[in-house]
Amino acid sequence: MSKPTLGIIGGGQLGSMLAIAANKLDIKTIIFCDDIDAPAQNFSNEFIHGDYNDQNKINEFVNKVDIITFEFENIPFETLNEINKSKPVLPKPSVNRIIQHRLAEKDFINKLNIRTTRYVSIEKKSEIDSVQDMLPGLLKTTTLGYDGKGQYLIQKIEDLETLNIDFSKGYILEKLVKLKKEISIIITRFDNKKYEIYEPVENLHEEQILKYSKIPAEIESKILEQSKLWAMQIAEELKYVGTLCVEFFIDRNDNLYVNEIAPRVHNSGHLTINAYNVSQFENHIRAVCKLEQVALKKISNAKMKNIIGNEISFYREKKYEQNEFFFDYLKKEIKSKRKMGHLTTLIK
Ligand code: ADP
Ligand code: MG
């Protein structure tokens, strides 16, 4: 059987790394993105620029590919659902409908009897008055947030006066967890009860943006087992195909909570490129293109640093050791708080 051509919606660094992994497996990729400067066009076989609701452009894209996947979860559900009528979209669009909405996502997780932070829906500013036991809390837009965008820390009710929050959008208010640590689990599901699962990654955020990841995570074995089990339960319940990430909080009393699910490859899994025989990206391609499932083998412990904003200039000049792997996302513009590249270091 000849290999399929894979369409990838979204052209950022995750799209780039998916295209590189596909190329290694002899799979052609076409990237569709609304950003004409999308960096992933440097790594794919073809690039189509168009708006996510430009039907003609979408048709052109869909006609050229056999399977479609995506690198970010905020593509309108209707768009994915329409595409899915002519070519398979994996993971399936219904997964996105749940996960792109923070309330639907948390309801879904709680139905599985998996712990999340306490949360409440907020549609009007005045509603916060009656839920003051949820403070200090984080008010987050229910849709379209990433890297801490659309999030407000509310310590006390008076904070609402100084924060200029647009309440025409829907919000979720989450009780702030006293964090000891954050970890994530990356899992690739191929089919019923068929998985490849990576060990937990320990993550450190600065200003709500991931800054450092490392394996092994320094956690108790009980938490390691519980996090893997919950990630498998979530993937199974969603009948997920491809790579998925579950982000977790560990509080100061060693309680584990699911923070959120990313229905895609994830920043905390970049170190799998160098630390494992098969990366999260390659596993995603293998699962969505129905290629062979290869048993995971760890090559090395590792740490990863995200290179954010202006820091990139230094890393572009730097000389690297053999155990260091620098990835430049080739973004046209340097912006503060923008992920510009990453550095993985293999460690003992
Ligand atoms: P995003 O979609 O932007 O990644 P997250 O909900 O994962 O949003 O929040 C980003 C980061 O902010 C988390 O990784 C964590 O460090 C911090 N954070 C978010 N929610 C909470 C919370 N309820 N309690 C404590 N820290 C939180
Ligand atoms: Mg997150």
Where do you find CATH 3.40.50.20 in the chain? 5-89
Beta strand extents in the chain (DSSP E only): 5-9, 28-33, 46-49, 67-70, 119-122, 137-141, 151-154, 171-175, 179-191, 194-197, 201-206, 209-215, 242-251, 256-262, 301-308, 324-328, 339-347
pLDDT band at 147, cuts 50/70/90?
A: confident
- For 151-160, what is the mean pLDDT? 92
pLDDT band at 148, cuts 50/70/90?
A: confident
Question: 179-347 adopts what CATH topology?
Answer: D-amino Acid Aminotransferase; Chain A, domain 1 (3.30.470)
- For 196-202, what is the mean pLDDT? 98
Cα–Cα distance between 179 and 251 in angstroms, integer? 5
Residues with CB under 6 A from ligand 1: 117, 138, 145-148, 174, 176-177, 179, 182, 205, 208, 247, 259-260
Where do you find CATH 3.30.470.20 in the chain? 179-347
Cα–Cα distance between 133 and 270 in angstroms, integer? 38
On the question of pLDDT at 1 being above 70, the answer is: no
pLDDT in tens, 231-245: 999 999 999 999 999
- For 265-277, what is the mean pLDDT? 98
Question: 149-153 long-range contacts, Cβ below 8 Å, gap at least 24?
Answer: 151/208
Atom of ligand 1 lying closest to residue 179 CA: 25
On the question of pLDDT at 74 being above 90, the answer is: no
What separation in Å is there between the alpha carbon of 262 and the centre of ligand 2?
8
- For 199-209, what is the mean pLDDT? 95
What CATH number does the domain located at 5-89 have? 3.40.50.20
Nearest-ligand number for the alpha carbon of 73:
1
pLDDT in tens, 90-134: 999 999 999 999 999 999 999 999 999 999 999 999 999 999 999
**3-state SS assignment for residue 37:** coil
**3-state SS assignment for residue 262:** strand
- Are 218 and 250 within 8 A, CB to CB? no
Does 118-175 carry CATH code 3.30.1490.20? yes
Cα–Cα distance between 308 and 320 in angstroms, integer? 18
Atom of ligand 1 lying closest to residue 178 CA: 25
Look at residue 39 in the predicted model and tell me its pLDDT: 97
What separation in Å is there between the alpha carbon of 254 and the centre of ligand 2?
20
What separation in Å is there between the alpha carbon of 329 and the centre of ligand 1?
24
What separation in Å is there between the alpha carbon of 174 and the centre of ligand 1?
9
Ligand 1, atom 23: closest residue by C-alpha: 176
Cα–Cα distance between 114 and 120 in angstroms, integer? 17
Calculate what percentage of the chain has a pLDDT beyond 70: 100
Please tell me the pTM assigned to this model: 0.96
Alpha helices in the chain (DSSP H): 13-24, 55-64, 77-86, 93-99, 102-111, 159-162, 221-237, 272-275, 280-288, 311-317
Look at residue 55 in the predicted model and tell me its pLDDT: 94
Nearest-ligand number for the alpha carbon of 203:
1
Ligand 1, atom 12: closest residue by C-alpha: 208
Instruction: Tell me which of 116, 204, 245, 249 to substitute to probe ligand 1's pocket, judged by most ligand atoms within 8 Å of the beta carbon.
Output: 249
Where do you find CATH 3.30.1490.20 in the chain? 118-175
Tokens of 304: 């990863």
Average pLDDT of the chain, as a whole number: 96
Atom of ligand 1 lying closest to residue 176 CA: 24
Cα–Cα distance between 319 and 304 in angstroms, integer? 17
pLDDT in tens, 301-320: 999 999 999 999 999 999 99
Q: Compute the C-alpha angle 23/26/27, nearest 5°.
A: 75
Cβ atoms < 10 Å from Cβ of 195: 21
Instruction: Tell me which of 153, 177, 184, 208 to substitute to probe ligand 1's pocket, judged by most ligand atoms within 8 Å of the beta carbon.
Output: 208
What separation in Å is there between the alpha carbon of 202 and the centre of ligand 1?
14
